[in-house]
Amino acid sequence: MQMGAVIEDRLSKRVTHVFAMDSDTLFNEFDKERLSRFKGTALQYQWLEDSLKSGEKLCQDMYVLRLDPQGEHIPDKSLDPEPGNENISSDAQQLQNKKMKTASEDTEIVNLKNNKDRRENGPFSSTSMSTSHGEVDNLSYANTRPQHLDTENDSSLSYCPPDLNKNITEIFGKLVNIYRALGDDRRSFSYYKAIAVIEKLPFKIENADQIKDLPSIGKSMKDHIQEIITTEKLSKLEHFETDEKVRTISLFGEVWGIGPATALKLYEKGHRTLDDLRNDNSLTNAQMLGLKYFDDIMQRIPRDEVQEMEHILQKVGEDVLPGVVIVCGGSYRRGKATCGDIDIIITHPDGTSHKGFLPKFVKQLKDMNFVREDLIFSTHSEEGTDSGVDTYFGFCTYPGRELRHRIDLKVYPRDIYAFGLVAWTGNDVLNRRLRLLAESKGFKLDDTGLFPSTQGSGGKRTASLIGVGTTQSELKAEYGGGKYDRTRNAAAESFVTMRLTYPNSEESGRKW
């Protein structure tokens, strides 16, 4: 049992809900006759994700999948408002804004993610430790490129919001970038959260009152939305775009390595264009590279190309260090159709072989002209005075092209790998909420562990409470003196760290 639901691995009369990425997934798993007899509800996985994010069970209607194989594999169109209907407060619309009542009885679910193929290929896969390698013969570019991927099938696995309100989200997106460039993270994050809510709505907003009860939509945001609906523009954005200072600082802030403070200094020096910056000798080498490849890295990378590059990295990594785990995180791991850059998280199951891997890995990638220019390259202290994480930021190219893409490589010790994987998968909203939750409980959370809010003597960070700092004796005591496997029992370790009693498998109904 998990969160009030019993997870079933097969379809039976007890099952009330089936979760899948889309209708195609259902039809591949079950035949038409079985689905026609199913009396329950089929929902998109996105319902689970959105419910967890909101902290409550959301209305299911906008996530319902059709069980008719001839129908479109999208939520029922009957839930969308009719064109030209000025009063969108229909029953379906009211359902969208209502909070779903908590079910009084347990819900039994058949989870298609238990299927091996779904686990390994799904964009929200929890088995990312199982790497997949392309058909590669040697390290030359000609032979390293994997077989052509079925992009049509791949895209069907990715959740694509309907984004029926681009007129709003595009304007808010510009404000996100402007406030970020100005160093106003609070306002930037407010618009960022609003976009995440609005782009998933299954209807076009005709009146701001339709979304007044949605999370992240306050009075000010609602007023902005109403102005956009009424005038097709936003006066605040127009003010920013006509303000030379704001426009220039925003432009400079888009260059890799230039933050709000540096952008302001460059503006005060009299620079107004990117060409002006190219003649400024005060820029660092990394900033000059960011300027040189500015147009390149502004282009989004198609998902299928990111997948091919992940396979290349996995193959090269395996040649350098057998057994190494290489996972592409970021928007790719979240199932997006395109990515802004490539975030790679690396570890090794034995907990020690990862040391010294990154320099060898980068050299091999440079020898085959995959990695091209360096931005940041740092390795951890052998004395163990830091987090033990190795970092490489740079530029790479897709096989056969010169177009630069940003790539980040992070190598973590096995015992803190989970923190790095979560942090570098994101998204920003999730990471921020996790940090705030940790702070509310007296902890500090980052990509290397969970720590007490207070630092050690001399300003040094104390040992991580979860992942590296919890003593083996504590954990063995919790297990009655039995052998403790840190990786398998990470959940139990978290309970011990928070000084909570860990429920055994019989109490929780969960199989470990």
Active site residues: 224
Exposed / middle / buried, residue 61 (Cβ in 10 Å: 0-12, 13-18, 19+): buried
Helix or strand run (H / E) with residue 227: helix 219-231
Instruction: Identify the three-state secondary structure at position 244.
Output: helix
> Whose structure tokens read 């970038």?
177
Three-state DSSP at 490 gives helix
C-beta atoms surrounding 400 within 10 Å: 8
With tokens 């570098």, the residue in question is 424
Q: How far is CA 476 from CA 395, 418, 493, 503, 511, in A?
A: 45, 21, 10, 15, 19
Q: Give buried/exposed letters for 69-104 (b at 16+ CB in 10 A, else e).
A: eeeebbbbeebbbeeeeeebeeebbeebeeeeeeee
CA dist 114 and 228 (Å) reads 44
195, amino acid identity? I
d(CA 58, CA 219): 22
* Amino acid at residue number 373: E
Q: What is residue 374's three-state secondary structure?
A: strand
For tokens 């007129």, the residue is 167
Beta bridge partners of 376: 393
CA angle 30, 32, 37 (to 5 degrees): 90
Q: Peptide bond before 177: cis, by omega within 30 degrees of 0?
A: no
In the structure, how many helices (H) and strands (E) does the chain have?
A: 24, 13
